């Protein structure tokens, strides 16, 4: 602020209507009213602050270029102005009694010598801000269709399992249980005790709904007693609203008192004004149940009487039929047909046996005539085949005997045993590999030497390499 004062003083030091220079005694020069206001204006406009206050006066008349209002607290009041473009953009409609949060700078209207607060932005503070946020969320969810009447589910007329989601320590739980016990005592209540205040309350309520739904609840009550707007804020949570809208069973809310309306009430299938009213909404009255049972008992008795009368009439009508007077009439036609079939069968069996006996005799005679001739023919054919096979074998055996002899001789010549019999030997290392080079058996190693009639185990004393490309007699020469 001191820097702003210095800048303002420098800006006004050359004002035309201000006396130039200074007195002989060096005293400061007196400023004109305009210069003094310009100095103050320059100092104030350099101060930007953020403040909170209660709206006490509002003037937003058509044709004005700005909105004029006053904010106050217990010790002071401050006139404010906000240009229309900023005011419309803020989305806030000022009203007396609102708590607002302002951002702006101080300024002076020199013509009237009046100080104003030039507002850059305005927001509702405290409960006002919360209500604005809730209203915006409600509008958005309504556009998505979460509050549409066609989406809401009808309540079951006689729910035998009721889910109750509320605080286990509040008065609401006792009101609901007392009402259900009085109106519909056969209903089973699944209680999910959850917090209904604080930042963790929405998640707890959603989890409580999930648990009672898993337990088989046919309808769910979400209730709590009265409180301030801030106390009821958990029921304005978007996550809770979406969970209620997606719940597969009807949800009934009874939150606060009659004037209190939350987003949970808006998206619920049924909204009750109080927890007690919510319990009454899901439970039939004892008197209506008694009337219903009496009406159903009369209807059942009447229906049963008519059914018995119809059955008795049918029995009497059936008793007059000939079939039930003489049971033989039921199988008369079938019995006659069976007798006829038996008679035909007794006549057909002897005739068929005689015919089959004659056919068998004729077949035996034909077979006796054919078998000797056929057997002799087969015997002669088999003897001819045997003679031909013996003759062909006599020509084949000598040729293959000669080939087999030559092959056996060549095989004998190539046999390693024949080579060993001529005085040669085969040396192998200890792991069975054939020795082909002296490097495979260094001095001191054991080798196995195979001769014609056995094997020798030898230890190598010395190893010498001989160039096989030179004949031994050439080296000696």
* Closest C-alpha among 108, 212, 230, 198 to residue 163: 212
- As a whole number of Å, the CA-based R_g of the chain is 61
Q: Are 440 and 433 in contact (CB under 8 A)?
A: yes
Domain positions in the chain are 2-130, 146-284, 421-476
> Residue 214 corresponds to which tokens in the numbers above?
């898993």
The strand pair at 426-429 and 446-451 is best described as antiparallel
Q: Are 458 and 449 in contact (CB under 8 A)?
A: yes
Task: Name the architecture of domain 2-130.
Answer: Beta Barrel (2.40)
d(CA 201, CA 239): 11
Taking only the tens of pLDDT, the chain with its 477 residues reads 445 445 545 544 444 344 444 555 566 778 788 888 888 777 777 788 888 888 888 888 888 889 999 988 888 888 998 989 888 888 788 888 778 888 998 888 877 778 888 899 888 776 556 666 777 878 888 888 888 888 899 999 889 999 999 999 888 999 999 999 988 888 999 999 999 888 888 999 999 999 999 999 999 999 988 777 677 788 888 888 889 999 999 999 988 776 667 888 888 999 998 999 999 999 887 777 778 888 888 899 889 989 998 998 888 888 777 767 777 777 777 878 888 888 888 888 887 888 888 888 888 888 777 777 777 788 888 888 888 887 777 777 777 777 887 887 788 777 777 777 777 788 888 888 888 888 888 888 888 888 878 888 888 888 888 776 555 444 443
Superfamily for 146-284? Answer: Response regulator (3.40.50.2300)
Helices (H), 415-476: 416-421, 472-476
d(CA 371, CA 18): 163
d(CA 252, CA 277): 10
Cα 148 from chain centre: 27
Residue with tokens 């068998």: 360
d(CA 461, CA 477): 28
d(CA 201, CA 235): 9
Q: Which letter, b or e, does each residue of 371-405 get, where b requires 16 or more Cβ atoms within 10 Å of its Cβ? A: eeeeeeeeeeeeeeeeeeeeeeeeeeeeeeeeeee
Q: Whole-structure pTM over 0.75, yes or no?
A: no
d(CA 249, CA 162): 11
Q: Are 36 and 71 in contact (CB under 8 A)?
A: no
**Would you give the DSSP letter of residue 259?**
T
Quick count: other Cβ atoms within 10 Å of Cβ 279? 29
Cα 446 from chain centre: 75
Which residues, other chains included, contact 328 with Cβ-Cβ below 8 Å and sequence gap of 6+? Answer: none
> Residue 427 corresponds to which tokens in the numbers above?
């040396």
């Amino acid at each position: 602020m001191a820097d702003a004062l210095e800048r303002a003083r420098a800006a006004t030091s050359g004002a035309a209507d201000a006396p130039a220079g200074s007195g002989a005694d060096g005293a400061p020069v007196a400023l004109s009213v305009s210069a003094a206001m310009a100095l103050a204006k320059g100092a104030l406009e350099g101060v930007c602050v953020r403040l909170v206050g209660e709206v006490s006066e509002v003037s937003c008349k058509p044709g004005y270029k700005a909105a004029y209002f006053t904010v106050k607290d217990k010790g002071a009041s401050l006139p404010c102005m906000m240009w229309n473009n900023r005011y419309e953009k803020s989305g806030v409609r000022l009203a007396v009694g609102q708590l607002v949060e302002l951002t702006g700078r101080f300024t002076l209207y020199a013509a009237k010598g009046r100080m104003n607060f030039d507002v850059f932005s305005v927001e509702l503070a405290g409960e006002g801000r919360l209500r604005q946020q809730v209203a915006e969320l409600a509008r958005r969810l309504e556009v998505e269709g979460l509050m549409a009447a066609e989406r809401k589910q009808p309540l079951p007329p006689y729910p035998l399992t009721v889910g109750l989601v509320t605080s286990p320590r509040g008065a609401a739980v006792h009101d609901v249980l007392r009402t259900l016990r009085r109106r519909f005592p056969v209903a089973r209540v699944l209680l999910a005790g959850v917090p209904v205040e604080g930042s963790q309350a929405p998640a707890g309520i959603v989890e409580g709904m999930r648990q009672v739904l898993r337990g088989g609840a046919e309808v769910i009550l979400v209730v709590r007693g009265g409180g301030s707007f801030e106390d009821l804020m958990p029921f304005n949570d978007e996550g809770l609203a979406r969970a209620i809208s997606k719940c597969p069973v009807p949800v009934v809310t009874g939150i606060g008192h009659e004037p209190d309306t939350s987003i949970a009430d808006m998206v619920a299938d049924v909204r009750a004004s109080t927890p007690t009213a919510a319990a009454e909404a899901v439970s039939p009255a004892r008197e209506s149940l008694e009337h219903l049972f009496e009406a159903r008992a009369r209807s059942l008795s009447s229906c049963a009487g008519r059914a018995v009368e119809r059955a008795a009439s049918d029995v009497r009508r059936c008793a007059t039929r000939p079939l039930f007077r003489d049971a033989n009439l039921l199988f008369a036609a079938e019995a006659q047909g069976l007798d006829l079939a038996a008679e035909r069968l007794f006549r057909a069996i002897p005739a068929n046996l005689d015919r089959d006996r004659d056919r068998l005799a004729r077949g035996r005679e034909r077979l006796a005539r054919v078998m000797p001739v056929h057997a002799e023919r087969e015997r002669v054919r088999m003897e001819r085949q045997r003679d031909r096979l013996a003759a062909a074998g006599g020509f084949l055996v000598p040729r293959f005997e000669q080939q087999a002899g030559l092959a056996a001789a060549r095989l004998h010549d190539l046999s390693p045993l024949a080579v060993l019999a001529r005085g040669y030997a085969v040396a192998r290392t200890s792991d069975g590999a054939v020795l082909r080079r002296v490097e495979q058996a260094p001095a001191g190693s054991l080798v196995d030497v195979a001769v014609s009639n056995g094997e020798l185990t030898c230890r190598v004393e010395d190893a010498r390499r001989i160039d096989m490309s030179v004949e031994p007699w050439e080296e000696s020469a």
